[in-house]
Structure formats: structure tokens, C-alpha cells
Amino acid sequence: MFFVSTDTNLFSPIQLGPITLPNRIVMAPMTRLRAGDGGVPIPANATYYSQRASAGLIITECTMISRQSQGYMNCPGIYSPDQVEGWRLVTDTVHKQGGRIFLQLWHCGRISHPSLQEEGKLPVAPSAIPAEGQLHTPNGKESMVAPHALEIHEIQGVIEDFRKAAENALAAGFDGVELHGAFGYLIDQFLQDGSNHRTDEYGGSVENRARFLLEVVEAVASVWGGNRVGIKLSPSNTYYSMVDSNPKATFGYTIDALNRFGLAYIHLMEPEAKDLATRDVLCPVAPTFRPIYQGTLIANGGFTKESGNAILAEGNADLVSFGKPFLANPDLPKRFELDVPLNSPNPKTFYGQGSHQPEVGYTDYPFLGDRAA
């Protein structure tokens, strides 16, 4: 059983690998769809992240590791020289404000569409099983299709894409990287048996289904060292048709296997209201896996200042990440510390507003003392 003193709270410093964080308030990765042409970060992205540099740690929005990895329009990438330079502006600006920032590495897998792929190719996945739902594409909303099931040699190519992206993130000046192993994207698709029906060494048993995730971790850690690599997991996510016949066993095995890498952290998502309404899912998540994982654990999912302090005091997490509260409150740690009201997020402006108004609902939320926007 893990136990943290009740003196430990959101404002306590913590050592994350070689990095000292001044507090345990993490800015969660949030897709905002405001990159420029070719997935290149723009100056507004640098402003947005630097405004939130008082977080103990910033984790960026999910970022494409390759052209093949794309599943949404206006997402940033980390596979071209121009993208690396765009992110360098972000990291330089955050560091000038005294912040620390990890890049989230991402491959959508089957959560894509041929109209988003180079030369209209099929998206890829462990198995040719389509996810339910529609995506915004250049042609409007389109239903997802049955993906191409990756062959063994192609799997090794994707792992190499993750490694190259990790190298590019290092060149762009990040302090570390987080692997997006959650929310029904490619790493998660390999892990869960609802989306992985393979019969080779990457399918079937939990050991085989976890193989892709663990090989990606190994490849990225070969660039950064394990103590600057994190991974986000969502054992109870039901979005994009995700399901596993035994999530406690699947994620328990995987989390235990991650112990050997000496990671910076694992980042666990609690179920959302939609997950709980869809079916009987594992809840709560962090307390279930805290006894298995020997390293640092970040909890995510609807936390407030009060519930964040509570999970830290219980020892079921070491840090807490906040999404929408950080989206709407660039000075969230200060507001928590002073116990003052928070700005309310505007869902209508969560996602990209186009190249003419990138600041709307993005960099225009007021700080304490500012006039209301």
C-alpha cells in the first residue's frame, strides 16, 4: 500500500526523473486543432503554452509522429524540419517563463479516414476492424472505414516512426515526451482485445497484445532515457468502440511490465460520465493500479482542487493533471493557491478557430487581475 503524508498537496514540489517540479499541478494534454499548414506550430501555440508555464509540468496536445498517424485536421506534427522549428519556438517561450514541457507522441491508427491520409490510403491498425463514428475531413463529416491490418514489417516501421519522432522532440527542446497510449488510438488498439484480433506475436494473449506498446516505449526510451518518458493509459475509455474483455488483467499486466523501464511517470485516466453510462467499467482507475506501479503516477479525469489534494493525501497518485480548468485558466496554480473563482471554459471554442482567429477561446482567457474577456 502506498501512503503519502497529508502534508503532501498540489503545491508540494516533486522530483520527476532529473526534473524538479515546483508543484504537482499538471496541464493535461488537450487537442486544440490550431496548428498551421502542414501541422507546423504557430506563434499562438507558443503564447498559449507559455501562458500556462506555472504548471508543475505541461504536457502538450497529441502530436503526429508521421504523415500516416494523422486522424484530425489542423493537428501539429513532429516529423518534418518545419514542425521541429515550430515546436522550438514553443519550448523556448515556455522555458523563458520558467516552465517545463513534455511533448505527447501520437498515432491515431484506425481513428482516421482515407481523405486524411497521403494518396488516399487506408488508415492502419492491428486488425481490419472499423471504429464507430464519424470524423471531420476535408470533405466534411465522414464515417470511419475498415483499416489496413498492419503486417509485421510495417509494425516495425511504425515503431521506428515513434523513435524518430522522439529524436525530433529532443531537437525541438522538450524536457521529455509522453506516449499517447489511451483513448482508442493505435497503441491502445493493439492493447485491447476488442480492437486486436491478431493471431501472431502481436495478438491473442495479453503478453502479445502489450508487445507493441512495450516495444514503442523501449524505442523512445532509447532516445530519451526512461526517466524522461511518460505514457498515458485509459483502462475505462469507451470512446471509438474501445472494449477489453478483462481490463483489470490487461492493464495490470501492462503497468507491471512498465516498471522495468524506470519511466518518468504513467498517466491514468479515470472514466468519464459517458464511459460510466455506456457499460460497467473499471472505476476508480488510479487506486486499482497504484499498488502495481512502483514509479510516479499522474491521475487525470474531472479533478478539482479538493479532490486532487485528496487523491494525493491518500497516496493513490503523485501528481494530478487538469484539462478544461487549465484551458480556461492560464494561471490555474495561482487561482488554486488563492482559492478564487475559476474562469468557465467555452466548449464552442475548444477546437480550431481557423488561421484568422487562432486566439479566440485559446489565448484570450483572462488572468487574475485582467479585465474579463
DSSP per residue over 51-111, as a string?
A: HTTTSSEEEEEEEESSGGG--STT--BSSSHHHHHHHHHHHHHHHHTT--EEEEEE--TTS
Rounded distance between C-alpha atoms, residue 221 and residue 166, angstroms: 9
DSSP 131: P
Within 10 Å of residue 129's Cβ, how many Cβ atoms?
Answer: 16
* Mean of per-residue pLDDT scores for the chain: 95
Predicted local confidence at residue 355, as pLDDT: 54
Rounded distance between C-alpha atoms, residue 331 and residue 319, angstroms: 18
- Confidence category of residue 106, pLDDT binned at 50, 70, 90: very high
Q: What is the mean pLDDT of residues 280-308?
A: 96
pLDDT exceeds cutoff 90 at 251 = yes
- Confidence category of residue 273, pLDDT binned at 50, 70, 90: confident
58: nearest Cα among 18, 97, 84, 106: 97
Q: What is the mean pLDDT of residues 263-272?
A: 96
Rounded distance between C-alpha atoms, residue 318 and residue 336, angstroms: 17
pLDDT exceeds cutoff 70 at 353 = no
Q: What is the mean pLDDT of residues 2-10?
A: 65
- Confidence category of residue 93, pLDDT binned at 50, 70, 90: very high
Q: Which three cell numbers stand for residue 249?
A: 488483467
pLDDT exceeds cutoff 60 at 3 = no
Predicted local confidence at residue 338, as pLDDT: 97
> What is the SS3 assignment for 27?
strand
Q: Specify whether the CB–CB gap between 233 and 255 falls below 8 A.
A: yes
Estimate the crossing angle of helix 211-224 against helix 152-171, to 10 degrees. Answer: 30
Q: Is the peptide bond before 247 cis (omega within 30 degrees of 0)?
A: no
pLDDT exceeds cutoff 80 at 361 = yes
Q: What is the mean pLDDT of residues 60-75?
A: 97
Predicted local confidence at residue 4, as pLDDT: 47
**Bridge-based pairing state of the strands 57-64 and 101-106:** parallel
Q: What would the pLDDT profile of 42-66 be if each residue is shown by its tens digit?
A: 999 999 999 999 999 999 999 999 9
Predicted local confidence at residue 327, as pLDDT: 97
Give the catalytic positions in this structure.
185
Q: What is the mean pLDDT of residues 179-199?
A: 98
Q: Which three cell numbers stand for residue 47?
A: 503564447
Rounded distance between C-alpha atoms, residue 204 and residue 193, angstroms: 8
Q: What is the mean pLDDT of residues 160-168?
A: 98
Predicted local confidence at residue 161, as pLDDT: 98
DSSP 123: P
Rounded distance between C-alpha atoms, residue 35 and residue 77, angstroms: 9
Q: Which three cell numbers stand for residue 331?
A: 494561471
Q: What is the mean pLDDT of residues 356-368?
A: 90
Q: What is the dihedral of CA 285, 197, 219, 2, to 10 degrees?
A: 20
Predicted local confidence at residue 32, as pLDDT: 94
Helical ranges in 116-210 per DSSP H: 152-171, 186-191, 206-209
- Confidence category of residue 277, pLDDT binned at 50, 70, 90: confident
Predicted local confidence at residue 271, as pLDDT: 87
Predicted local confidence at residue 329, as pLDDT: 98
pLDDT exceeds cutoff 80 at 370 = no
Rounded distance between C-alpha atoms, residue 149 and residue 161, angstroms: 17
Helical ranges in the chain per DSSP H: 43-51, 81-96, 152-171, 186-191, 206-209, 211-224, 247-258, 273-278, 286-289, 305-313, 324-328, 332-338
